[in-house]
């Protein structure tokens, strides 16, 4: 039983990291109804930029490098919103979705041509000790990022509930036209959203970069985040976090306890199976609003 | 003749056929045929399959490469293991891919848009996993099987010219079929579903049936393309040949080429296949050896940049440019 809980808890920790990536998707979808395929590429680019500031081109201390990376992501958000999305405003959502495909290729291409394609180790000085809590081994590294994720979600909740800009973004996500008619500038709201998503992508990039190294596969972690969105409900931030935990724990338990019977390696699609089950019974996700148009 | 209502198109098509059947085999080198033209035809076929689904019926699939993989392995099993003649086993591979594809198209009856896109991604990962882990399908290690020697009516398909003709004939046959499909009742139903689905339902389009037909036709083309790629181009069935990046690239192809056009499928596929070679040639004049990582990065930048460019400037892709010329020709010489 202790083994079960250990697998369960380590799954939860991975799940938190997944939800960090999924959070960016959810934010952008809420504000602009765009499903941003480039979210993973944004994380990749952010972690590459951070590596560049920390070691490759400059030798900044971590806090300065992080701020610079956020600055870079702000510029990228500006370009995406005002150069790419602005001309596409009135087009069908599918077009915007496909435009983010282009952004994905662009970010991957530019990021890897500036910083190189080889995998890099990112070391930001987080101790990786292992503690034993009621018989379960937990690494301080995982705990640290769980804490960061919790702080991020708390901060976002505060931002959306209490600040003027946050309320404007919620208005935009409820109804574009109504928000425009009460005087909320749509493009500025989008820009703000993409900046926030860029910050979230940076945090996710740091987390995954320190864990598995800065390399192209960071971009593919976004694919793990997609089923999380389905399960949690794409427009619900708490839903995304909880679904991330469910997916992390589920895939870990599935791999350890079901995997050996079917040949292993089921982590790649197990989250999708869970998502399909959720889609069948609750197409709008466990916590989402019931706005999915039934066909 | 009804397929090509204006003479320019007709002559253009005949000219292209002349090029494809006579000029290419006579003058193109073996490298050009096996590494560029054959994959170009195969990807055009597959891109047309995705175009049926995304461009005509409006259902985006992000797992299309998986159905190519199904077709590729199915043709190996049918031809290599059970000795079914070559052409029936290629078409049979398409049918098997279509059956699998229709199954994975079932969620489209309940959901649409991004939700559907994600559920098709599920098919990508699930199929990849099944092929690698099901010994009966994948046969060898890591899901790789060697291609058997090919024969049609006792004649060996061994040289690159013969392989080229095999692929060319399949492409022309299937594209003609496809063209007639999309300009008939079924194609019009698909376009109605794409434009406004509930309006289509009101005027009497059977949504469920036609969406599933779109999935099966689309994955049939993907399956045939997959089997041709392995039989005539790569030579081994390898799951890595059909990973999720290929699925994404197919989406890029039909955007650049043109959503909802047949010409667009060719243009997009041609662009995708030629791009790395063009970059290689272009950079080759400046530096002696072009490193593969630089090559793939520049490729990604140009590919992404063009996707964005076409979506903003010309949402119907390269094919639209040709269409504009045609519109002018239809009225020529009096533009008004």
The span from the CA of B226 to the CA of B74, in Å, is: 9
State the nearest Cα–Cα gap between A84 and chain B, in angstroms. 7
The span from the CA of A217 to the CA of A18, in Å, is: 14
Contacts of A292 in chain B (CB under 8 A): 111, 115
The ipTM, to two decimals, is: 0.80
A79 touches chain B (CB under 8 A): no
Q: For residue A136, list its beta bridge partners.
A: A133
Using the predicted structure, report yes or no on whether residue A223 has a pLDDT greater than 80.
yes
B228 or B136, greater pLDDT: B228
Q: How many CB atoms lie within 10 A of CB B245?
A: 12
Residues 248-287 of A with CB under 8 A from B: 262-263, 265-266, 268-269, 272-273, 275-276, 279-280, 283
Flag if A292 and B58 touch (Cβ within 8 Å).
no
Measured between CA atoms, the residue of chain B closest to residue A29 is B114
Q: Tell whether B336 is covered by a domain.
A: no
A139 or B50, greater pLDDT: B50
Measured between CA atoms, the residue of chain A closest to residue B315 is A95
Model confidence pLDDT, tens digit, residues B177-197: 998 998 889 999 999 998 888
Q: Tell whether B310 is covered by a domain.
A: yes
Flag if B308 and A272 touch (Cβ within 8 Å).
no
State the nearest Cα–Cα gap between B297 and chain A, in angstroms. 4
Flag if A295 and B125 touch (Cβ within 8 Å).
no
The span from the CA of B47 to the CA of B316, in Å, is: 15
Measured between CA atoms, the residue of chain A closest to residue B114 is A35
Contacts of B291 in chain A (CB under 8 A): none
Query: Structure pTM?
Result: 0.85
Using the predicted structure, report yes or no on whether residue A190 has a pLDDT greater than 50.
yes
| Least CB–CB distance from B119: residue in A107, A279, A292 | A279
Residue A290: pLDDT band with limits 50, 70, 90: low
Contacts of A117 in chain B (CB under 8 A): 293, 296-297
Using the predicted structure, report yes or no on whether residue B96 has a pLDDT greater than 90.
yes
Using the predicted structure, report yes or no on whether residue B94 has a pLDDT greater than 90.
yes
Measured between CA atoms, the residue of chain A closest to residue B316 is A95
The span from the CA of A17 to the CA of A38, in Å, is: 17
* Lookup: tokens for A202: 């940076």
Contacts of B137 in chain A (CB under 8 A): none
A119 touches chain B (CB under 8 A): no
Decide: B41 and B171 in contact? Cβ < 8 Å: yes
Using the predicted structure, report yes or no on whether residue A292 has a pLDDT greater than 80.
no
Domains identified in chain B, total number: 1
Q: Tell whether B2 is covered by a domain.
A: no
Phi-psi domain of A132 (left: phi exceeds 0; alpha: psi -120 through 50; beta: other): beta
Would you kindly state where each structural domain of chain A is located, as residue ranges? 2-281
The mean pLDDT value of chain A amounts to 83
Lowest-confidence segment of A9-18, A244-253, B287-296, B298-307 by average pLDDT? B287-296
Measured between CA atoms, the residue of chain A closest to residue B251 is A98
Interface mutation vs chain B, best among A40, A102, A258, most B CBs within 10 Å: A102
Flag if A234 and B114 touch (Cβ within 8 Å).
yes
What pLDDT sits at residue B215?
93
Q: Tell whether B1 is covered by a domain.
A: no
What pLDDT sits at residue A22?
87
Measured between CA atoms, the residue of chain A closest to residue B199 is A295
Q: Tell whether B218 is covered by a domain.
A: yes
The span from the CA of B270 to the CA of B279, in Å, is: 14
What pLDDT sits at residue B139?
67
What pLDDT sits at residue B14?
84
What pLDDT sits at residue A172?
83
A114 touches chain B (CB under 8 A): no
What pLDDT sits at residue B330?
72
A82 touches chain B (CB under 8 A): no
Say what percent of chain B tops pLDDT 70.
93
Flag if A109 and B294 touch (Cβ within 8 Å).
no
Q: Please give the distance of CA B35 from its chain centroid, rounded to a whole number.
A: 16
Lowest-confidence segment of A128-132, B92-96, B172-176 by average pLDDT? A128-132
What pLDDT sits at residue A293?
53
What pLDDT sits at residue B163?
86
Decide: A143 and A167 in contact? Cβ < 8 Å: no
Report, as an integer, the average pLDDT of A249-268: 80
What pLDDT sits at residue A18?
86
What pLDDT sits at residue B101?
92
Using the predicted structure, report yes or no on whether residue A295 has a pLDDT greater than 50.
no
> DSSP letter string over B128-155?
HHHHHH-HHHH-SGGGEEEPPP-EETTE
B99 or A259, greater pLDDT: B99
What pLDDT sits at residue A8?
84
Say what percent of chain A tops pLDDT 90.
6
The mean pLDDT value of chain B amounts to 84
The span from the CA of A236 to the CA of A286, in Å, is: 9
Nearest CA-CA partner of B246 in B54, B57, B55, B61 = B61
Residue B141: pLDDT band with limits 50, 70, 90: low
Report, as an integer, the average pLDDT of A203-209: 86
Nearest CA-CA partner of B38 in B180, B122, B163 = B163
What pLDDT sits at residue B224?
94
What pLDDT sits at residue B151?
74
**CATH 1.10.287 fits domain A2-281:** no
| DSSP structural state of residue A138 | E
Contacts of B299 in chain A (CB under 8 A): 109
A120 φ/ψ angles, rounded to the nearest 5 degrees: -125, 145
Measured between CA atoms, the residue of chain B closest to residue A96 is B311
> DSSP letter string over A238-255?
HHHHHHHHHHHHHHHHII
Using the predicted structure, report yes or no on whether residue A76 has a pLDDT greater than 80.
yes
Nearest CA-CA partner of A231 in A244, A220, A221, A213 = A244
The β-bridge relationship of strands A130-133 and B144-146 is unpaired
Residue B336: pLDDT band with limits 50, 70, 90: low
Report, as an integer, the average pLDDT of B236-258: 85
Flag if A97 and B255 touch (Cβ within 8 Å).
no
- Domain extent at residue B217: 7-331
Flag if B129 and A102 touch (Cβ within 8 Å).
no
Q: Which residues contact A288 (CB under 8 A, 6 or more apart)?
A: A232, A233, A234, A235, A236, A239
Decide: B43 and B269 in contact? Cβ < 8 Å: yes
Number of residues in chain B: 336
Flag if B60 and A94 touch (Cβ within 8 Å).
yes
Give whichever of A66-80, A83-97, B26-40 has the largest mean pLDDT: A66-80
Residue B171: pLDDT band with limits 50, 70, 90: very high
How distant, in Å, are the alpha carbons of A80, A101, A141, A272, B207 from that of B118? 23, 14, 31, 8, 20
């Amino acid at each position: 039983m202790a083994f079960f809980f250990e697998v369960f808890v380590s799954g939860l920790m991975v799940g938190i990291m997944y939800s960090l990536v999924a959070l960016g998707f959810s934010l952008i979808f809420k504000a602009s109804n765009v499903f941003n395929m480039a979210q993973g590429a944004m994380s990749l680019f952010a972690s590459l930029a951070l590596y560049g500031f920390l070691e490759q081109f400059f030798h900044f201390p971590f806090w300065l490098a992080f701020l610079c990376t956020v600055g870079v992501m702000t510029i990228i958000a500006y370009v995406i919103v005002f150069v790419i999305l602005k001309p596409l405003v009135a087009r069908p959502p599918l077009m915007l979705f496909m435009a983010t495909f282009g952004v994905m290729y662009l970010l991957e291409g530019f990021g890897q041509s500036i910083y190189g394609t080889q995998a890099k180790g990112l070391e930001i000085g987080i101790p990786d000790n292992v503690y034993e809590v009621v018989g379960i081994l937990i690494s301080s590294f995982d705990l640290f990022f769980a804490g960061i994720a919790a702080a991020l979600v708390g901060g976002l909740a505060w931002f959306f509930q209490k600040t003027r800009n946050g309320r404007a973004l919620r208005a935009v996500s409820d109804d574009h036209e109504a928000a425009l008619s009460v005087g909320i500038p749509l493009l500025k709201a989008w820009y703000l959203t993409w900046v926030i998503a860029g910050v979230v992508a940076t945090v996710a990039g740091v987390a995954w970069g320190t864990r598995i190294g800065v390399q192209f596969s960071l971009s593919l972690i976004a694919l793990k985040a997609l089923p999380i969105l389905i399960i949690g409900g794409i427009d619900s931030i708490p839903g995304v976090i909880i679904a991330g935990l469910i997916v992390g724990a589920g895939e870990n338990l599935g791999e350890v306890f079901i995997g050996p019977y079917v040949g292993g390696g089921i982590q790649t699609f197990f989250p999708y199976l869970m998502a399909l089950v959720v889609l069948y019974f609750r197409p709008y996700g466990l916590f989402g609003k019931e706005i999915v148009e039934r066909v | 003749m009804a397929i090509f209502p204006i003479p320019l198109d007709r002559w253009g098509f005949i000219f292209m056929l002349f090029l494809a059947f006579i000029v290419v085999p006579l003058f193109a080198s073996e490298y050009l045929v096996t590494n560029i033209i054959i994959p170009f035809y195969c990807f055009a076929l597959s891109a047309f399959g995705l175009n049926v689904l995304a461009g005509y019926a409006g259902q985006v699939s992000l797992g299309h490469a998986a159905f190519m993989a199904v077709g590729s392995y199915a043709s190996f099993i049918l031809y290599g293991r059970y000795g079914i003649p070559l052409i029936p086993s290629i078409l049979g591979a398409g049918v098997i891919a279509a059956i699998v594809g229709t199954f994975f198209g079932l969620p489209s009856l309940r959901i649409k848009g991004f939700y559907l896109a994600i559920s098709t991604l599920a098919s990508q990962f699930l199929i990849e996993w099944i092929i690698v882990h099901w010994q009966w399908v994948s046969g060898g290690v890591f899901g790789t099987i060697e291609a058997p020697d090919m024969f049609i009516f006792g004649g060996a398909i061994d040289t690159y010219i013969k392989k080229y003709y095999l692929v060319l004939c399949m492409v022309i046959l299937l594209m003609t079929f496809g063209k007639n499909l999309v300009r008939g009742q079924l194609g019009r139903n698909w376009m109605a579903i794409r434009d406004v689905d509930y309006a289509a339902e009101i005027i009497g389009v059977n949504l469920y049936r036609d969406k599933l037909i779109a999935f099966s036709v689309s994955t049939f083309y993907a399956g045939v393309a997959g089997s041709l790629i392995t039989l005539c181009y790569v030579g081994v069935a390898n799951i890595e040949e059909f990973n999720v990046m290929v699925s994404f690239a197919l989406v890029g192809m039909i955007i650049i080429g043109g959503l909802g056009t047949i010409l667009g499928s060719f243009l997009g596929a041609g662009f995708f296949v030629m791009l790395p070679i063009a970059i290689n040639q272009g950079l080759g004049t400046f530096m002696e050896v072009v490193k593969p990582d630089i090559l793939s990065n520049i490729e990604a930048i140009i590919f992404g940049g063009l996707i964005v460019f076409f979506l903003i400037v010309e949402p119907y892709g390269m094919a639209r440019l040709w269409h504009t010329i045609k519109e002018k020709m239809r009225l020529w010489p009096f533009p008004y």
